[in-house]
Structure 1
Amino acid sequence: MDNVTQIVDPPPSRTRLLLDGVRALRKPTFDGAPVLPGERLVRPAVELRAADITAYGRACGFRREQGVPLSYPHVLAFPLHLMLLTRPSFPYPASGMVHLANRIRQHQRLTEGQALRLEVYCARWVAHPKGQALSIATRAYGAGALVWESDSLYLRRDVASPVGEPWGDALPLEAQGLARTQRWMLPADLGRRFAKVCGDYNPIHTSVIGARLFGFHRAIAHGMWTFGRALASQQPPGGLDSAEAHCDFKLPIFLPGQVALWNAPVTGPRREFEVRNLAGDKPHMRGLFIWTAR
């Protein structure tokens, strides 16, 4: 498919996204290799609103003195991710896509009131050992300059002969050197609380019944909440001039539940960490966070 740029203004409503998701539950089968969708979805001027940042920060544990959370622009771009995954041009049902990893880079300081141009597109197919993976790119521009970017890896399980470069970007971490630094208690309604600020009302996060329909015995915590909560525990005060954060999602976190943050020995403005179960023997997420000291 030829590249097509579509301006999305205003963003789709929650109802529209849900209806598109239902329509995308069934897709016609196809022969041969999947075709990478060519659409580029653009929101030309998205304001970093103080009230929305505060609500997101409250949900994930960020404090106001930490500035704009490093993971926050992903929330603004997520509706565009859903739009891509539910398009007729996308070859798989959106409901079967699993969020495997996220890579974020911030190049300039973000400030409340700033307007960003968001561009989201399917970047590449990735051949994963468990099936066909797809990288969705998000690029945020301020005054014409790239200020923030992320790459989100989604997986469709059990696809034979996946195409693309082999997946080889998993985070290495020496598990023996980690120590438990925090313990988190997660309420049963965490998924619904986070959905109100991120716009992701996937039933596996918001409903026990919905989670059971997709093979989970209870609702599970949203991976981007886990990522945000881990960054909130480690992002320094004063805001970030530049930073990067990587995470690989591992085992689901069932709600309600308790988990713990484990950290490697601190090396300057660099944090290697895992979110594990309380016993410390099962990883839910592995991460790396590096920032530029002011």
Structure 2
Amino acid sequence: MTVKELHRAPSLAKLYPRAVLGGLRKAGGETLPDTEYVYAGVSADPGHVAAYNRICGFRLTDELPVTYPHILAFPLQVALLSEPEFPFPLLGMVHVANRITLHRPLRLGEELTLRVRAERLRTHDKGTEFDVVTEVVTGGETVWTDVSTYLRRGAGAGSGGGKTSLAPPSAGAIWWVPGDIGRRYAEVSGDRNPIHLHPLTARMFGFRGAIAHGMWTKARCLAAFEGRLPGAYTVDVRFKLPVLLPSRVGFTSWRADAGWAFELWHASRPKPHLAGTITTP
């Protein structure tokens, strides 16, 4: 594997135009680049963490939210997916799942090393899937791992999760998701995918309007568990139908054998947005 050691975070302002141009020439492929990006000496900025916490619903503490390292590594992920040899264009890929394993709490002031690579290219009934794996290392120990699964739709693939006849479960909480949450989350995350920013740009990619970021919905759900989770666990989420902005959503959770299970639904229609589990070692 080729290791690319970085001395500063990649510039998203430069990467997004490259991603758009790359999408015009990429036609798919059968292999992922054998490359790993490594960025050492990273520490979280307290002001940025506080802004992230407010948008996602976490309390303000010196402990990093379990989803926050995904934000730190996001520029490396975009850089990898924008490489000329990457077989698929960045725009148009669908984030279908995310699994985070926290081995111990991470705190403000810790110096971290980020490692990002892509692996497990595989066929799917709607196209092709692959994983982007991110690791956080400190003191020679891997303390946090993130596996984001992306789908590149193939010819004839459907546009979403399809219709469902399920009835939504009784919600433990109803949340209002404002129309500007995509833009607000983009400011702290750097994820300025046009499907999240404005109805007009979202319609260019086949959506009826702007949709919430999947990682915001995951973070918002996990904020509801604060004070109830141990210092080490795995949270695994499948993103289902998108949250169209603005929306009212229903959150429900229940005890499972190995921890917790939770779901996010449209507040008044049988439309599942997210399903997840939290398991302990």
Question: Normalising by the residue count of structure 2, what TM-score does the alignment of the two structures yield?
Answer: 0.90
Distance 1:67 1:291, change over 3 A: farther
The residue number in structure 2 matching 1:166 is none
The equivalences for 1:68-107 within 5 A come to: 68-107=64-103
Could you tell me which runs of 5 or more consecutive residues in structure 1 were left unpaired when the two chains were aligned: 161-174
Q: Deviations over 1:185-232 (max 9, x none)?
A: 111111010001111000100121110110112100000000000000
Q: Deviations over 1:147-178 (max 9, x none)?
A: 00011100001169xxxxxxxxxxxxxx8895
**Contact 1:42 / 1:118 at 8 angstroms: preserved in 2?**
yes
Question: Which deviates more from structure 2 when the two are superposed, residues 193-202 or residues 125-134?
Answer: 125-134
CA separation in 2, counterparts of 1:213 and 1:179? Answer: 35
Q: 1:192 aligns with which of 173, 178, 183?
A: 183
The residue number in structure 1 matching 2:214 is 223
CA separation in 2, counterparts of 1:177 and 1:131? Answer: 28
Distance 1:240 1:208, change over 3 A: same
How far apart are 1:47 and its partner, in Å?
0.2
Q: Deviations over 1:31-78 (max 9, x none)?
A: xx6111111011111102222211111110001248321111111111
CA separation in 2, counterparts of 1:95 and 1:246? Answer: 24
Partner of 2:24, secondary structure, is: coil
CA separation in 2, counterparts of 1:221 and 1:176? Answer: 22
The residue number in structure 1 matching 2:154 is 158
The residue number in structure 2 matching 1:290 is 279
Over aligned residues, Cα RMSD in angstroms? 2.1
**Contact 1:178 / 1:273 at 8 angstroms: preserved in 2?**
no
Q: 1:246 aligns with which of 236, 256, 267?
A: 236
**Which ranges of 4 or more aligned residues in structure 1 deviate by more than 3 Å?**
175-179
The equivalences for 1:168-183 within 5 A come to: 178-183=169-174
Aligned length: 272
**Contact 2:264 / 2:272 at 8 angstroms: preserved in 1?**
yes
**Contact 2:62 / 2:107 at 8 angstroms: preserved in 1?**
no
How far apart are 1:5 and its partner, in Å?
0.9
The residue number in structure 1 matching 2:8 is 10
Q: 1:49 aligns with which of 24, 42, 45?
A: 45
Could you tell me which runs of 5 or more consecutive residues in structure 2 were left unpaired when the two chains were aligned: 157-165
The residue number in structure 2 matching 1:168 is none
Quick one: percent identity of the two aligned structures? 37
CA separation in 1, counterparts of 2:114 and 2:230? Answer: 20
The residue number in structure 1 matching 2:133 is 137
Report whether the alignment pairs 1:274 with 2:263: yes
CA separation in 1, counterparts of 2:155 and 2:69? Answer: 31
